[in-house]
Amino acid sequence: MGSWSVAVVFVVAINSPGCIARHDDFVRTGRVRVQKTESCVLSLPAPAVFRDGNETVIAGAVYRAKFSGGTQTGHVCVSLVGSDGQIFREFWAAISPPWVSTYTPFRSLYLLKFEGVPPQGAIVRVRFVHEPPPTDDQPWGTIETAGSSKPTIRASGT
């Protein structure tokens, strides 16, 4: 999906009250809580987390401080954390454009879809990872960690 496609989908999903109202807003209804990490260079506001059919959609933005220098590249790591504090699913989301701009609007967007619904009381943890996103030999998708000492990556098909 190109950077303009992600931007258009994100803007429509976030700014269209009719769009969000037709779907279950998991944060507003209390199904999930959002936990985000910040730094002096980057900020991740709480993403929108909602249901679209049988999929969960997480859409957000990564902002940079206006006067911070250097290009910020990487990806967003989204973890689903259970009430016991353990990560039970983890996703990698590309940002679009693939760097956080040093010029206006000082942001990149991300959009993640996965099948299913997080359990009641789950925490959606978002953080920016200053590393390249997975390559073709590491497909995009979920990283299954439950019941295994070594995570394995499963393609999500989205």
pLDDT tens sequence for the chain (158 residues): 554 444 444 444 444 444 444 478 999 999 999 998 877 788 899 999 999 999 999 999 999 877 777 788 899 999 999 988 999 999 999 999 888 887 777 899 999 999 999 999 999 999 999 887 766 554 444 433 333 333 333 333 33
Q: Are strands 122-129 and 32-36 parallel, antiparallel or unpaired?
A: parallel
Spatial separation of the C-alpha atoms in residues 113 and 121, rounded to whole Å: 19
pLDDT of residue 136: 54
Q: Is the pTM of this model over 0.85?
A: no
Query: DSSP per residue over 99-144, as a string?
Result: EE-SSTT-EEEEEEEEES-PPTTEEEEEEEESSPPP-TTS-SEEEE
- Reported residue count of the chain is 158
| Structure confidence at residue 69 (pLDDT) | 73
Give the model's pLDDT for residue 150. Answer: 33
pLDDT of residue 114: 92
Q: What is the pLDDT of residues 2-33, one digit of tens each?
A: 544 444 444 444 444 444 444 789 999 999 99
Q: Determine the pLDDT at residue 82.
A: 94
Range list of β-strands (E), the chain:
32-36, 42-43, 48-52, 55-64, 72-81, 87-100, 107-115, 122-129, 141-144, 152-155
pLDDT, residue 76, reads 93
pLDDT at 135: 63
SS3 label, residue 84: coil
Residue keyed to tokens 């807003």: 25
Q: Hey, what are 98's tokens?
A: 């693939």
